[in-house]
Every structure is written in structure tokens, then in C-alpha cells.
A and B are shown apart, each in its own frame.
Chain A
Amino acid sequence: MSTTETHTLPDAVIEITQLKKSFGNNHVLQGIDFKLGHGENVVVLGRSGCGKSVFIKCISGLVKSDSGTIKIFNQNIFGINNRQLDKIREKIGFLFQSNALYDSMTIRKNLEFPLVRHLKLKSKEEINSRVEEALSNVGLLNTIDMMPSELSGGMRKRIGLARALIMKPEIMLYDEPTTGLDPITAKEISNLMLDMQKKYNTSSIIISHDMNCAKITANRLLVLIDGNFYAEGTYEELKQSNDEKIKAFFE
């Protein structure tokens, strides 16, 4: 039901048609069509190595796709120069699977990094207040002068989330946000993602194979099998599916 609605959404923030990507003979993405509506949370399910990460890395321009079009805010990201790509990336937050916190910098420097380099903010007060706001959002203000190596896995994930959200992005890309965390922390992160969606009205693509996370965060789910979206629907719809391939995710 919701699927047909989103496909006709006039204010789609991301529109992808016939996206293809291969690594040698490994055809990872085989002509994907996709739309992300404004304020929507879409969870992409799939087995490890099926190309989920490649899919969102194509969207952020980290991986160059072979063919197809990716339109972000109605601008095709193919053939644009680096400066234009950076402009688009200002509106996209990316939470990496391994958090990608800079080991050599304190938490404060980690969070300042996108502000100073992307937005070119100069005012010390503004930078500080935004860093503190982002850290309080994830409840880790006390870690501000610590190094990433001093934090636990769940804390690092939350700092990664704070760093992605500090830019107040309109689109968030989550790469396996709950992988490697205990169920309680994973639930906290999922709820945090939902809070951020409400607070900043972001649209998100969440790559995951954690069904609990999908249940909490998803407005719509997509199942990626063999380089294409195999099924689409809400959590409840997919759960009731009789298809073996889909049932496997819920068991």
C-alpha cells in the first residue's frame, strides 16, 4: 500500500534509474530503480556481500557506477565536478559500518571536521555549540575530549551518528548501523535514528540485516537479492510473505 504511494511522491529526494555496477565479472547491481520520498525511512535488506553497501556508496559518489542515473534533489550526480558533488554531499550524512572515526583526533576534532571543512565555519562559538548540541543529542557530551580508542563499540557508533548529523543533513545513509552491537545497544541506536528522523525531518536509507532495527525504523522495506530489488513492502507485509527467500530474513 505504502509502496505505491511513495512511488508517486512528487517530492522524491533521491531518484535512481537503471543503476548498474560490476567489479570484474561480479555484477553487483543489475539495473536498480529506486525512489526515496521526503521524510521517509527505507530499510534495504540483503545478505552480506550482495551489494547493499555498494548501493549507498554509489549514492554518495564514493563508488562510481557503470551506468544509470542517480538524481539527488533533482540533480544528476553523473558528470558533475567535485565542487558540485561536495555541495550535494553537504546535505547527505553517512554513518559508516566501521564508524570511520578519525583515530588520531579527539571526539571534538572528529565532530568539528565536517563543520570546518564542509561548511567552512570560522566562528569558534558556533562550532562549539554545534559540537555540544550533537553530542548531547546522542547523550555523550562527557566524551568530548576523549580519543575514539577510549570508547566502547556502542559509544563509537553514537559518536559516528553525531558526526553524521552535525551537518543537519536532509538525507541520511546508514550502513549497517546496528551490526556488532548487543541487542540493547542496537535498540538504543535504532530509537536514536528514529528520534533524529523526527527532530530534523531527514529522509534515510538504512542498510541492514537486523530485523529488530528494521522493525523499529522502517517506513518501507526493500529486499536486495542478486543485484535487484526482489520485494518491497512494510515490515508487516513482508513478514506475512510466503516467499522462501523473504521468509529467510524473518527466521
Chain B
Amino acid sequence: MSLKTSIQDFFIETAEVTKFALRFFKEVFFPPYEFKEVVRQCYEVGYKSALLVGVTAFIMGLVVAMQSRPTLVEFGAGAWLPAMAGVSIIREIGPVVTALMCAGKVGSNIGAELGSMKVTEQIDAMEVSGTNPFKFVVVTRIIATTLMIPILVVFADTLSLFGAFVAANIKGHISLHLFFDQVFEKLDFMDVIPSIAKSFFFGFVIGLISSYQGYNSSKGTEGVGRSANAAVVISSLFVFIIDLMAVQITNLFTK
């Protein structure tokens, strides 16, 4: 494939995703609303990812604290461990690890599920049964990921801090009370708010990209596999791009 056609394809794909996103905004505000299905999807996305996200976040908190401890001790700043772990977890590790894990678990799930629904004509069947399939299948999933990932991020932050607390107690000793006291002493609203705000965008983009890939899956089982794969790869990439943009925007407001 020549360079020209790949550039062309890239722009066509970008336009298609944008159209897909605009269609989402057009349909999300107008009735009929699919409340029941939104709740079901929230359960699928939120509750069913909680264990995975929780374990990963706990391990990440523990590892980060253990890795940074020797350096901090070397500079005589061992007491800064809780504050440092707190800031890095809340600002960066919690949201990004959660989003990446969800891009993997939820994204591939949505990509494959919608892909197979498309291929086995379930989406057509909904359309002839008086249901707008875009609303029932796509809108509900994007709402669910947008709402659930920020909640998962808060959950992950909490467990991650506990992980850091455990790490701090492996080589030294610090009480739970003192640990969290020191964490919150250095935490600011300008750490927490941008971190939660960007999680909404992470959730939205995971839902959007995965649904787009699944909904436009081409015929055959091979297409389903490709959709699931593209859903994970592209939404993970977008998580980093949004993260990069978020840090720039946050820096405009902080010194």
C-alpha cells in the first residue's frame, strides 16, 4: 500500500470516528432513553472490572513505593515516601493503570461483542424490531464506560495507596494514620480534580473507539477478532494521548 493511500485511509477513518462520535451526542440527549440497558452495562463495565483493576492498582502502589524508597532514603528523604507515593498515584498511576486495564478488558469485550452482533445480524434484528440499535447498543456502552471508569479510578487510587502503605511497612514502620496524614498533607485539589476529569475522557474514548470498531466490523469471524484487537490497541494509545493533553492543560492552571 502506497503512502498516499495510507494517509488517505487515516483521514477517512478519522472522519468516520468523528461522525460516529457526533451521532452519539445527537442520540444521547433525545428520548427514548434505555435506562435499564445503561444500568446493565454499568454493571458489566464497572462491577466486573473492579477485581482486576483493584488487584493491579494495589500491586502498582506497592511496587512504586518499594522502588522509590531506596533513592529517597539515600537522600535522607525517607519520610517523604507517603507524600511522593500519594501524588504519583493520584495524579498519574491510578487513572492511567485503570484506563489501560479497562481498555484491555472492557475494550476488547465491547469490540468483540459488537463485532459478533454485527456479523450474526443481531443489530439488524434489533432494527426490524422497532429498536434503534445505535441507541441500544452503542450509546448505552459509551455512557457506561464514561461513568464507570472515574469510579474505578477512585477505587484504584484507594487500593493503590494501601499498597504503598504496605510497602512502607515492609522495610520500615509507619502507622496507617500517619501514612494517610502525610499523603493528604501534600495532596491538593489541583491534583485530584484534573485526575478525575481526565478519567471521564478515558472512559469516553474507550467506549467510543471500542464501539466504533465493533459496530463497523466487517463480515466473518476474522473481522470480529480484528475489531477486538483494534479496540484495545487504539483506545490504549488514546489513553496516553489524552494523558499528554491533560498534563499540558493542568499546567496552564498550576505553577
Contact = CB atoms under 8 A, between A and B. Distances in A.
A62 B127 contact: yes
A118 B129 contact: yes
Contacts of A96: 120-121, 124-125
Contacts of B130: 86, 89-90, 114, 117-118
B131 interface: yes
A100 B125 contact: yes
User: Which one of B120, B129, B132 has the greatest number of beta carbons of chain A within 10 Å?
Assistant: B129
Contacts, number: 49
A150 interface: no
A165 to B, nearest CB: 13
A98 B128 contact: no
Interface in B101-128: 113, 116-117, 119-122, 124-128
A97 B122 contact: no
Contacts of A90: 130
Interface residues of A, number: 23
A101 B129 contact: no
Nearest to B125: A100
Contact of A62 (B116, B117, B122, B128): B128
Nearest to B32: A117
B128 A117 contact: no
A155 to B, nearest CB: 16
A101 B128 contact: no
Report which residue of A60, A82, A86, A100 has the largest number of chain B beta carbons within 10 angstroms of its beta carbon: A100
B121 A97 contact: yes
B122 A103 contact: yes
A61 B129 CA distance: 12
B121 A98 contact: yes
Contacts of B126: 113
A100 B116 contact: no
B116 A92 contact: no
Interface in A97-156: 97-104, 113-114, 117-118
Nearest to A89: B128
5 contacts: A62-B128, A96-B125, A100-B121, A100-B124, A114-B130
Interface of B: 113, 116-117, 119-122, 124-132
The 10 lowest CB-CB distance pairs between A and B, nearest first, are: A118-B130, A100-B125, A100-B121, A114-B129, A96-B121, A98-B120, A86-B130, A117-B131, A117-B130, A100-B122
Given A96-B124, A100-B120, A114-B129, 7 more contacts: A60-B128, A61-B128, A94-B128, A100-B121, A113-B126, A117-B130, A117-B131
